[in-house]
Chain A
């Protein structure tokens, strides 16, 4: 019995369509068909100076020095978060003092926003990583706006146009213009900027930000005096200071009230919010980055213990995605940043 005639082409066409559809969906998901999607790669590329990035180094906050120490929790934080790191006790810290620049050889005097990054390990195998800066607020409200800021040419007219489109940058600008300069990493206050959610043992959530407040009294110095102290004066100063004795910061956790701008790190929360001092960071030993314990640490602010999680703030996700790209690239360039 003869079969009805079938087109031999039709099945192959169907197979081709299925394969092409699958490949297309994959390409779309990967962003290959979306040149305007803000990908982590594009974000990281935007940090590169005109001469290209410094291979082997972080793509931003490229200059820094390692430290080790301990976080001494006083137990007060346990009322806010069930994370082990807030239970009374001492927990080892690997950290890094740094400042915002894509150039690992930048003169320390050029650093307006100085940074403190920490990785705190607890006996339950969990970690709390945080990368903070000395500015009280972030320049802009969204990762997209930050990308646009990075892409804005550094001429006054372009910056003026950007500021007009993103007026929130005024608060950061005012800080950068008027905040006193110090000559030491140990005299800076470092702020989370982003908000996170603390969950207590009863399951209650609170939106918080935090700051590490220096024990050392900040000594204001004229900005124009800083270059005279030498290219690496921040690293030298902190090494000498800590060789003589540990440097300390108090960790103060600020709890948001309903309506506070938890999603927008460019906006400070109103004064008078409940603030809890939950412990002290003790920096005990400085080590050069090239051989140091912080060189290969990605201080991804979304590496959080159970009891802390990200909030409606868009930045930690963007930072996590971009830091991973930076880490992936520099770890592939290990030969360009050998241990000394």
Chain B
């Protein structure tokens, strides 16, 4: 017999409500995209080889693609909601989870916008591919450019730290608590 108040046993016997397939698809697609962006970003400013141009040419359209995806994702989240965390998860961890998700949404929205504004402030054409350019969203200004550049760089490091924290937390749910929280977002049937 299982003791229902024992979290590990509970996780094994009843499957927790999961994110919808659309939410899971958006999560994993954006996870790959965001992680790629962070690596492309630090990589492209670290080399003077042709790789620099290749990475920059991926960074811009991928950033805009992620901006579009996060807008869809927020709309889906607001209409669909999210499955509840386990009732026995300590309150500080619940709070940390909620805050980290808010931080993720904030970064996913702000990073592409800051990048776009930064290029606008520097008076670069914002070429996504072939001759397709986006309009500037701010007027050219070196002061504003400097501020946005600092913000883009600093927030990128915060973003990567948050990603690492998120991965650590996910693994903690899988390996230590084994409470089914990871499975809420994992792929597979259901």
Contact = CB atoms under 8 A, between A and B. Distances in A.
B101 interface: no
B79 interface: no
B171 interface: yes
B97 interface: no
Which among A18, A26, A322 has the greatest number of chain B C-beta atoms within 10 A? A26
A25 B40 CA distance: 12
Interface residues of A, number: 49
A38 B47 CA distance: 6
B46 A30 contact: yes
B133 A126 contact: yes
A264 B139 CA distance: 38
Interface in A138-162: 143
Nearest to B39: A29
Interface in A262-299: 296-298
Interface of B is mostly: helix
B37 to A, nearest CB: 12
Interface of A is mostly: helix
A244 interface: no
A324 B150 CA distance: 14
B175 to A, nearest CB: 4
B123 to A, nearest CB: 6
Interface stretch (A58-66, A251-259, A328-336): A328-336
A330 B163 CA distance: 32
Interface string A1-40: 0000000100110110011001101100111000001111
Contacts of B140: 296
A302 B133 CA distance: 15
Contact of B124 (A30, A298, A317, A334): A298
A322 B149 CA distance: 16
A30 B146 CA distance: 21
B98 to A, nearest CB: 21
A9 B125 CA distance: 53
B72 interface: no
Contact of A125 (B39, B51, B133, B149): B133
A30 B42 contact: yes
Contacts of A330: 142
B90 interface: no
A306 interface: yes
A15 B149 contact: no
17 contacts: A14-B171, A22-B163, A22-B164, A23-B164, A30-B43, A31-B42, A31-B46, A31-B47, A296-B142, A306-B130, A306-B131, A314-B50, A317-B49, A317-B52, A318-B49, A318-B52, A332-B146
Q: Which 7 A-B pairs have the closest CB atoms?
A: A306-B131, A11-B175, A31-B46, A331-B142, A30-B42, A332-B146, A318-B48
Interface of A: 8, 11-12, 14-15, 18-19, 22-23, 25-26, 29-31, 37-40, 43, 124-127, 143, 296-298, 300, 302-303, 305-307, 310, 314, 316-318, 320-322, 324-325, 327-328, 330-332, 334
Given A40-B47, A296-B140, A307-B131, 17 more contacts: A11-B175, A19-B168, A23-B164, A25-B39, A29-B43, A38-B47, A39-B47, A40-B52, A298-B123, A302-B53, A314-B49, A320-B52, A321-B45, A324-B45, A331-B122, A331-B143, A331-B149
